[in-house]
Structure 1
Amino acid sequence: MRGKRNFHLLSQPEVIIIPMIDIMLFLLVFFMVSTIYMVHLNTLPVNLPAAQAARSETKPTVVSVTVNKAGHVFYDMDTKPTAGISERVKKTLAEKPETIFVIRGDRDTNYADITSVLDSLKAAGARHVSLAAESGKR
């Protein structure tokens, strides 16, 4: 009679994952670097002429309009309340038409005060108006 062989595994097979992680990181870096150079391959290299009418990439002017708890309106960095902001807004828009106005209203400000500021900005011709808020705090 033939002898029986014992084919029991002594240990469980292991999957070594660290080399696979190394390869994945290498591939990620490779594709990130290669796509940077692909962007320039889609255009022909030329020397562009200079033009006076060309727009430069400038940051737009941001003007803050602050409404405090008492309903007083402060234009930009003024320390005294501004009586009517419409004239100041018109002057600012005449100089820089793409000005962005940010309304910063106190948490306890009356809603009607914020609405009157919005109406004043709209009447003065402001097109870019946003409301400021704190993130994450309640």
Structure 2
Amino acid sequence: MNFRSHTAPERVVFQIAPFVDILLFLLVFFILTWNFARNEAELDVKVPAAREGKENRRPVGEVILNVRRDGSIVMNRRSMTPAELQETLARIAQLYPDQAVVLRGDQNVDYKYVVDVLDICRAANIWNVAFATSKPD
């Protein structure tokens, strides 16, 4: 008597659909977190702390202007002269009249440089300007 049945062994099949789902999820996660962190930490600008500041939702396409300690202006990881900045902001204001601009001034920068950047924004017809601050320790 032969009690063994001759069944074909099951083939092991690689499930690709769950693998693709996980990879796409990780890809989207890393791209989104990289994109948000890129604008805030691109320079060693230490913004001043504010107790009464509140964290607003960041609008899509906002322009972040960094004013370094020495007064140099950086927009999108590119150093600009005041004339270049005004020309760029004027073009942006023509395309998007309500463009949001976040001004990140170093806590040790002279006030004169911050006022100069505000004057450039006003001359370029940018009125929606916010100041970036950090939470107090």
TM-score class, shorter-chain normalisation, is: 0.5 to 0.7
1:83 paired residue among 81, 84, 87: 81
Write the letter of the residue equivalent to 1:114: V
Give the equivalent residue in structure 2 for 1:108. 108
Give the equivalent residue in structure 2 for 1:92. 92
CA distance in 1, matches of 2:126, 2:61: 13
SS of the residue 2:101 aligns to: strand
CA contact (8 A) 1:60 1:99 kept: no
- Gapped regions of structure 2 (runs ≥ 5): 1-58
Residues 82-113 of structure 1 deviation map (CA, whole Å, 9 limit, x = unaligned): 01211010111112222101110011111100
CA contact (8 A) 1:67 1:104 kept: yes
The structure with the largest alpha-carbon Rg is: 1
* Greater RCO structure (CA 8 Å; 6+ sep): 2
How far the C-alpha of 1:134 sits from its partner, in A, is: 0.3
Once superposed, what is the RMSD of the aligned Cα atoms?
1.3
Residues 54-102 of structure 1 deviation map (CA, whole Å, 9 limit, x = unaligned): xxxxx45310110001110012x123x2012110101111122221011
CA distance in 2, matches of 1:94, 1:78: 22
SS of the residue 2:71 aligns to: coil
CA distance in 2, matches of 1:123, 1:132: 21
Give the equivalent residue in structure 2 for 1:72. 72
Q: Percent identity?
A: 22
Pair 1:65–1:73, CA change in 2 (3 A): same
The TM-score normalised by the length of structure 2 is 0.53
SS of the residue 2:92 aligns to: helix
CA distance in 1, matches of 2:93, 2:61: 10
CA contact (8 A) 1:61 1:98 kept: no
Give the equivalent residue in structure 1 for 2:119. 119
CA distance in 2, matches of 1:61, 1:98: 11
Residues 2-53 of structure 1 deviation map (CA, whole Å, 9 limit, x = unaligned): xxxxxxxxxxxxxxxxxxxxxxxxxxxxxxxxxxxxxxxxxxxxxxxxxxxx
Write the letter of the residue equivalent to 2:81: A
